Amino acid sequence: MEKNNSELVSVSLSMLIKLAKPAASLKLFRSRVRAPQSGGYLSRTKGRGMEFDEVRMYQPGDDIRSIDWRVTARTGTTHTKLFREERERPVFISVDYRASMQFATRGVFKSVQAAKLAGLLAWVAERHGDRVGGQIFTDNACRELKPQNGKQAVLHFFNALVKTETRQTPINIEQVIGRLSHHVKPGSLVYIISDFRGINHRTENYLTKLARHCEVIMILVFDPLESQLPHKGQYRFTDTTTDIVVDMGDKQRVMNYQKKFQQHEDYLHALAKKLNIRLLRCATNEQPVNILR
C-alpha cells in the first residue's frame, strides 16, 4: 500500500496542499437559473452582467450567452466574457467530522475522504478567483470560516480541517444546517460533505431556505460495507469502547441492515430532487477527483 497508515485515518496539511495539482483538472459547478413558484426567474448567483471583468478562451460548460462574438471573430477562437460577480462568488464548504465519519473498512476514513473532497473544491475555487470559506462540525463543536480571497483563505480553511475545535456542547446535524442557512450569503455555492446520519424532515426547512438563494451540492460519503454486507462469516466491529460481532449467516439481520442504508440513500435522493439540488456519492475507496469530475 502506497499510503502510510496515518493518511488513511487522519488529515494532514501536506495531504491537503498536495491536492492543488489534481484540482487543476476540475471545474466548479455552474450556477443554474430556475423559476420559483411565485413566477418569473430567480438567478442563484448575484447576477450576470452587472460588472464586466475580462475575456478568456471558451471552456466546456460556459454559458453560450456569455460568448464575446467580436473577440471570437477577430481571433478565430471562441472567447467568453467573465463578470465580477461570477468570479468572486463565495464558495462555502461544510465538512462532517462527527464520530460516524471516523470509520472505514476500505480506502480511507470517511472523515479523510470528506477532507480530501473539501480540499479539492477549495483549490478549484481559489483558481477560479472565488472566495473560499467553510464549516467544520463534530458531535460537540461547529466552526464557520468567512469566505475570503486567495491562497491564504485556502490555507486557513485547511488548518481548520487539520486542527478541529474541541468543546463539550452537543450539536446535531439539524442545528448544523440551521447555522449554515444563517451564515451563508445569497448567491453562494455551497457544498455539504457528510454521511448525513441523523438528517430528518425538520432539517429540510433549513435546506429549503438555503437552496432557495444558493447553489447547493450534497456529497454523500459512505463506506462500501455500509451499502453491501459480506455474504457470509462473522465480523467484529468496535468504536474503541464497545465491541459487537455481526453474523452474516443471520439473513434477516443482513437484509434489515442493507434496507436501512438504502432507505437513507433513497431519502437523500428524494430530498435533492424536491429541492432541485445536486447529490453526489463518494465511497471511501474511490478517488475524490474522479467523483468531482
Question: In the chain, where are the structural domains located?
Answer: 5-31+90-292, 47-88
Q: Tell me how far apart the alpha carbons of residues 79 and 171 are, in angstroms, rounded to a whole number.
A: 48
Q: Would you say residue 245 has pLDDT above 80?
A: no
| Average pLDDT for 85-108 | 87
- Residue 31: its pLDDT value, please? 52
Helix (H, G, I), strand (E, B) or coil at 98: coil
Average pLDDT, the chain: 85
Q: Tell me how far apart the alpha carbons of residues 84 and 208 are, in angstroms, rounded to a whole number.
A: 27
Q: Which cell numbers in the block locate residue 200? A: 430528518
The third-level CATH classification (topology) of the domain covering 5-31+90-292 is: Rossmann fold (3.40.50)
- Residue 81: its pLDDT value, please? 85
Q: Which cell numbers in the block locate residue 105? A: 473498512
| H or E element, residue 132 | strand 131-137
- The answer to whether 225 touches 233, Cβ cutoff 8 Å, is no
Predicted TM-score (pTM) of this structure? 0.78
Q: Tell me how far apart the alpha carbons of residues 90 and 147 are, in angstroms, rounded to a whole number.
A: 6
- Among the listed ranges 36-45, 58-67, 148-157, 205-214, which one has the minimum average pLDDT value? 36-45
| Average pLDDT for 228-232 | 69
Q: Would you say residue 33 has pLDDT above 70?
A: no
